[in-house]
Structure 1
Amino acid sequence: MADEETNPWQTLSSKEIYDNPWINLTEYQVINPNGGNGIYGKVHFKNIAIGIVVLDDKLNTYLVGQYRYAIDQYSWEIPEGGGLLGVDPLESAKRELLEETGLVASSWRVIQTMHLSNSVSNEYSILYLAQNLTQHDAEPEETEQLEIKKMPFEEVYQWVKSGKITDSMSVAAILKVKLMLLDGSL
């Protein structure tokens, strides 16, 4: 039986294929775990993915709607964005929440960390729960054309169940908050 902590892959060489301010794509020549020669491509993300479930005192939450270029469709999501490596992820979450919704929260809690697509990328995410809210003016980036929707959390949960929300961070965070509500840890 193999030691689960030992890497069974052997890297022979690597070649940078593409690089921009957000991602880097590298192709590796490898020997796979069964001893065969092959290639492996990895997308390296230069930011931490940040997602925020917002809950007000009446258990309403906020969704952000926007057209997502990569999937060529409109998407409803929790407030999300990227946090620069080396910057406190909580500060990035606060910035994203204000940018997208105009909300400022005085209570923050990490509810989940996860890898978003560990077969082809190293993208890592931190999901937060934000509460005790005050409303300010939103400050969206020039690349964002956002629609903000305030909804009862239970209705948002139903959107996840029905498949209307497909963004992985949103699905995971909403399900996590639902479990926290059910087990009394919220």
Structure 2
Amino acid sequence: MQTDQSPWKTVSSTVVYDNPWIRLRHEEVITPAGTSGIYGVAHFKNKAIGIIPIDKEGYTWLVGQYRYPLEEYSWEIPMGGGSIDVDPLISAQRELKEETGLIALDWQMIGRIHTSNSVTDEEGFIFVAQDLEQGETEFDDTEVLQIWRLPLSEAIEMVMDNRITDSLSVYGLLKVARLKGI
């Protein structure tokens, strides 16, 4: 039986780290079983935004970059952070332009995802962008990106053989595959 009432009780909450992107809290709790416990929560100050651009030929774009926390290179759909108080579509349009130079005239939100709901409150939004026009990229100072245009079916295969492991990319590409019958 589903209930929206939390079986957890928060005894205390202390911010142990805070920067412009995340806030970490240490919480003393009473568990659903009635025992004392602790919980660590990572609060994200932005929404996760992912975009799957698809052109008339059935191609999409991936962005490759070195991911510092993973210490490895990663191929992903174009993505980034969107301010909590900004419509996710506005953030998606900005991110697509920044990372690929693409401007889309047709947008569809295809999903909402919690990236790791056991320790974070991060919420992600996935969009499909179509009717594309090519413009110039506008990379952030922290980005060294490679851009790859490839068949959408090949990007989906990269998910299936674990060459793409980013959660927003996996979710978005598999959802597009299902929606398009690929």
Residue 41 of structure 2 corresponds to which residue in structure 1?
Answer: 42
Residue 181 of structure 1 corresponds to which residue in structure 2?
Answer: 180
Residue 71 of structure 1 corresponds to which residue in structure 2?
Answer: 70
Determine whether 1:110 maps to 2:75.
no
Task: Write the letter of the residue equivalent to 2:116.
Answer: S
* SS at 2:181 equivalent: helix
CA distance in 2, matches of 1:14, 1:158: 43
Residue 82 of structure 1 corresponds to which residue in structure 2?
Answer: 81
* Structure 1 residue 159, shift from structure 2 partner: 0.5
Residue 167 of structure 1 corresponds to which residue in structure 2?
Answer: 166
Residue 30 of structure 1 corresponds to which residue in structure 2?
Answer: 29
CA distance in 2, matches of 1:170, 1:124: 14
Determine whether 1:9 maps to 2:8.
yes
Residue 62 of structure 1 corresponds to which residue in structure 2?
Answer: 61
CA distance in 1, matches of 2:151, 2:51: 16
CA distance in 1, matches of 2:110, 2:63: 19
Determine whether 1:147 maps to 2:146.
yes
* Structure 1 residue 87, shift from structure 2 partner: 1.1
Task: Write the letter of the residue equivalent to 2:81.
Answer: G
Q: Which runs of 4+ in 1 moved over 4 A?
A: none
**What are the within-5 Å matches in structure 2 for residues 126-137 of structure 1?**
126-137=125-136
CA distance in 1, matches of 2:77, 2:12: 39
* SS at 2:91 equivalent: helix
Unaligned runs of 5+ in 2: none
* Structure 1 residue 63, shift from structure 2 partner: 0.1
* Structure 1 residue 88, shift from structure 2 partner: 1.5
CA distance in 1, matches of 2:2, 2:155: 42
Q: Deviations over 1:132-170 (max 9, x none)?
A: 000001000010000000000011111111000000000
CA distance in 2, matches of 1:5, 1:101: 40
* SS at 1:25 equivalent: strand
* Structure 1 residue 79, shift from structure 2 partner: 0.1
Count of aligned pairs? 182
CA RMSD of aligned residues (A): 1.0
* SS at 2:121 equivalent: coil
* Structure 1 residue 4, shift from structure 2 partner: 2.5
* Structure 1 residue 16, shift from structure 2 partner: 0.5
Q: Deviations over 1:12-50 (max 9, x none)?
A: 011110000000000110000111101101000000000
CA distance in 1, matches of 2:52, 2:40: 32
Task: Write the letter of the residue equivalent to 2:4.
Answer: E
* SS at 2:55 equivalent: coil
* Percent identity over paired residues: 49
